[in-house]
Structure 1
Amino acid sequence: MRTVQADATDVIDTAIAWHLRLAEADARAWADFVAWLEASPAHAAAYDRVAAEDRLIAAAPFRSGEDARAGNDNVPAPAWRRWAGPLGGAAAAAAIAAICLPMLLPMRAAPYQVATRDGERRTLSLEDGTRIQLSGGTRLVLDRNDPRIATLEQGEALFHVRHDAARAFTVKVGEVAVQDLGTVFDVAHAGSRLNVAVAEGSVRFQSRGPAVTLKPGDALSARADGTSIVQTRIAPQQVGGWRDGTLGFDGQPMHEVAGALKRLYGLEIALEGSLSERPFTGLVRFSGQAERDVPHLAELIGASWRRDGKRWILSSETPATP
């Protein structure tokens, strides 16, 4: 019996503590309180008892020492004693929680994915006025409840961001965040590397180290973990050049060049020997016609080419003369 009474006393003590705490509770406290109420009917009953006794106190005249000396018995109870209103108790607390929690708690993420196949392009218009152009072979994750955040899992996209001084638009790539400061910028993510280039405005590149601000014509290459950062320059009008077939490379290995053509046009290009790691620098205009683009690329890098079904093969070795 003593154990039962002790348990009941503990529940009452907890109910009193909650009753006092709720006057200045934050969102987390309200959530914890509702969970405590729903854990046991005894909790709700105890809280109702505490709230009922509190209402009796609230109904009684409140007399300060000065009021007592003046004989004033009709002073209303303080406002903090009347917070529960006519409902009172657990019902009032639950009702208040139902109204306040959706406003106080952060909105849950509602992610959805937008993807393009190799050789496919797509343009998205978000609710906040931002427009995103996706290149081929791209996978982007957005949030229906928060149009100011995107995650580029792979591929390339050009962002035309409607600037909001109160909430920057953020693109996440691996462990890196790229935030707009009112801008048009391009982000590419292939393998373990990412590239950012700015056409208009500026962006903040945030990795493990100090943030880097990029302005029009600034470009940056880094690993997806935010290391090995290299900054370069690019003509602002060339940013997002993939839309008209203009691709610029600055020392990227040939396998990245081949990957860009696969995403953009769906071309299957195999690189033999050491050609895969050979660095390539140049600005090339592609037509999207493999019969024209592949021989042109081979000529630029001094390689030979041949076709095997749908696959194009580039080699650094000159084919033997029959």
Structure 2
Amino acid sequence: MSRDAPNIIDQAIAWHLRQEHMAAEDWEGFVAWLETPAHARAYDAVAMRDRLVAAAAFPEPDAMPIAANDDQPASRGWWRLAGGGAIAAALALWLVPTTFGSHATETVYATSDGERRDVRLADGTQIALNGGSLLRVSGADPRSVALDRGEATLHVVHDAAHPFELRAGDQLIRDLGTTFDVLHTGERLSVAVAEGSVLFQPDGAGLRLGAGDTVTMAADRRIVRGTLPTAAVGGWRSGDLSFEGIPVGEVVASLRRQLGVDLRIVGDLSRRPFTGMIHVTGAADRDVPHLAELIGATWRRNGEGWVLADRATATR
């Protein structure tokens, strides 16, 4: 084990305990921390043990033994163990804590650009996370999730008595028995339905979307409805990206999520609308030049990254 492991475990525990009270800037720091694979593995280990502890049955406080020289019962909560070494040892040895906090702790799943992750919830719902995504699952209600950023394709197990809900920003999407894709960025929120239906509620005015229906809400809250072949919904999983009138800046962001490379735009190219389909092979040295050709741009390597520029501007 790396000498840094105990320190990483301490950090993972600290992030785990802070989540209920974190502000927006804290979440940004948390996502950045998770981009290191060792950090993500440590956090997953802490969250898993948290769930195991929550599911375990422990004696009532009155039944707990008290040492003869103790005036007070043992401290409550495994997070109150002394210092980093003790906490790391508790995790490594799976020590059973005296009890667990009464508050429900949400579970966070995060991916860095170029990384994908499949999540299976307790009810059997399956979620595929694209790169650069952050998903939170409520500890109080596992059929309530929040996509803080990124893209996810969901295959939801239907339960009429307990609808599945996904929140993206301040918008709520309620499942009515379906498979659907959600993209949430700082620029827009898009929902596309592959089968079944969902209820999209911008500002409380419900829009029902069926198979092949799409809805996009821009940052100015303007809503555009459309259609998409159901086979193309969640196409990012097979490397197929579909765009209709989407600014090039967002197209590039989609490719960045897929490839996990530094891909930047210079000039005014980012605002140009693009309509078309792009197949991503996963090889940046093929996919970036192909994108540049489709959007009428030049490309160049910049160290480990890539830079795109408007072709007309580059030839001046």
TM-score, length basis structure 2: 0.65
**Which runs of no fewer than 5 residues in structure 1 stay unpaired?**
1-106
Q: Is the 8 A contact 1:219 1:234 kept in 2?
A: yes
**Which runs of no fewer than 5 residues in structure 2 stay unpaired?**
1-101
Offset at residue 236 of structure 1 (A): 0.3
Counterpart selection for 2:119 from 119, 124, 140 = 124
1-side partners of 2:315 and 2:175: how far apart?
53
1-side partners of 2:200 and 2:125: how far apart?
19
Counterpart selection for 2:311 from 309, 313, 317 = 317
- Which residue matches 1:301? 295
2-side partners of 1:128 and 1:224: how far apart?
33
**Paired amino acid for 1:265:** L
1:229 equivalent to 2:223? Answer yes
Counterpart selection for 1:156 from 151, 158, 162 = 151
What secondary structure does 2:162 align onto? coil
Q: How is 1:160-309 mapped onto 2 (pairs within 5 angstroms)?
A: 160-223=155-218, 227-309=221-303
1-side partners of 2:302 and 2:187: how far apart?
29
1-side partners of 2:212 and 2:104: how far apart?
34
Distance 1:257 1:220, change over 3 A: same
Indicate the RMSD between aligned Cα atoms, in angstroms.
1.7
Which structure is larger by alpha-carbon Rg, 1 or 2?
1
Which one is further off, 144-153 or 165-174?
A: 144-153
Deviations 1:120-146 (A, max 9, x none): 111111111101110111000102331
Offset at residue 108 of structure 1 (A): 5.2
Q: Is the 8 A contact 2:247 2:271 kept in 1?
A: yes
- Which residue matches 2:128? 133
Offset at residue 192 of structure 1 (A): 3.8
1-side partners of 2:154 and 2:139: how far apart?
17
Deviations 1:33-86 (A, max 9, x none): xxxxxxxxxxxxxxxxxxxxxxxxxxxxxxxxxxxxxxxxxxxxxxxxxxxxxx
Offset at residue 271 of structure 1 (A): 1.2
Residue identity (%): 49
What secondary structure does 1:146 align onto? coil
* Equivalenced residues, count: 214
2-side partners of 1:173 and 1:235: how far apart?
23
Moved over 2 A (4+): 107-110, 317-321
Offset at residue 301 of structure 1 (A): 1.4
2-side partners of 1:258 and 1:266: how far apart?
11
TM-score, length basis structure 1: 0.64
Q: Is the 8 A contact 1:252 1:279 kept in 2?
A: yes
